[in-house]
Amino acid sequence: MRSWFVVACLLFGGTRTVAALSDPPHLPVVSTLVLRTGEPLQATHKLTYELVEFSQQRGRWIAPDIGIYGSSDESDKLIFAGAGAEFLFRGKIDYTQILYISQAVGPGAHGARTLWIWPVLDVNLTPRWMSEVVVYPTIPLNGAAEAGFDIDRAKLQYAFTRRFSAGAGYSASIYENCAWKNKPLATATYFSRAGSVEFWLERIPAGAQVQVRYTLTRSEH
C-alpha cells in the first residue's frame, strides 16, 4: 500500500506541473487525487481493497481520469481510464457523466475488459443536506468479462459545520456469477485545506468493514 501512495503523489505533482505548462493561462485546470482503502472489522484485519485515482478537469471536460484497483484476496489488478464532462451545474444539482474502459491484469484475470457508464449526481437539498448517487452498469467488452450492475454509493449527509458532515447511505452490486450484495453504510467526512477524509462503516457479506476515502483537489490557472 505504501508504494501505491508514493506513485500517486509523484503522479499528482508531476502531472500538475505538465498541465500548468501546457494549458492556456485563461483555462483553469482542476486536478484531483483519490486514495481509498478498506479494512474488515473481523480478526484478520487484512485490507479488502486499495484504489488510487487521478483526474483533471478543464472547464466542463474531464480528461484524463485514470486509476488502479486491487483487492486483498487476489494478485490481479484492475486498471481503468476514462473521460467525461459535467453536463449540468445549477448550484443545487450537479450531473457528471464519465465513460471508463477497465482492463484486468494478472495471472487469473484472463484479460477481462469492460466498459463502465459512470454517472455522478450531486444534489444540495438545503444548505446543510447533501445527497450523492452513483449507479453504473458494467458492460463486457470481451468473453472473459462479466456483465454487472453496481450502486457504488447513494448517500445522504448533513453538514454540522463547514468542516464536518455525517449521514447514511447504501451500496450494492450484482454480477452474472454473483448474487445481489446489500451493503448499507454510515458515513462521516472531515474537510480541510489538506483534502477531505471520508470514513464509511459498511456492512458486507463477510461482516463489516471500515473504508477510508481521501480526496485532494487543487486548481491552477
Q: How is residue 112 written as a grid cell?
A: 477481462
Name residues of the chain where pLDDT drops below 70.
1-26, 43, 73
Residue 110 DSSP class: T
Q: Which domains does the chain have, with CATH numbers?
A: 2-220 (2.40.160.40)
Which residues have C-beta within 8 Å of that of residue 125, sequence separation ≥ 6?
A: 92, 131
Q: How is residue 119 written as a grid cell?
A: 454517472
Q: Are strands 49-58 and 61-71 parallel, antiparallel or unpaired?
A: antiparallel
Q: How is residue 61 written as a grid cell?
A: 471536460
- Concatenate the DSSP letters of all residues of 167-190 into one string: EEEEEEEEETTEEEEEEEEEEEEE
Of 45, 74, 9, the C-alpha closest to 206 is: 45
**Whether the Cβ atoms of residue 119 and residue 96 lie closer than 8 Å to each other:** yes
| Interatomic CA distance for residues 78 and 76, integer angstroms | 7
| Interatomic CA distance for residues 135 and 219, integer angstroms | 27
Tens digit of each residue's pLDDT (9 = 90 or more) over 165-213:
999 999 999 999 889 999 999 999 999 999 999 999 999 888 899 999 9
CA distances to 79, 164, 190, 202 from 169, rounded to whole Å, are 27, 17, 17, 9
| Interatomic CA distance for residues 199 and 206, integer angstroms | 19
Q: State the pTM of this model.
A: 0.85
What values do phi and psi take at 160, rounded to 5? -75, -40
pLDDT on residue 73: 67
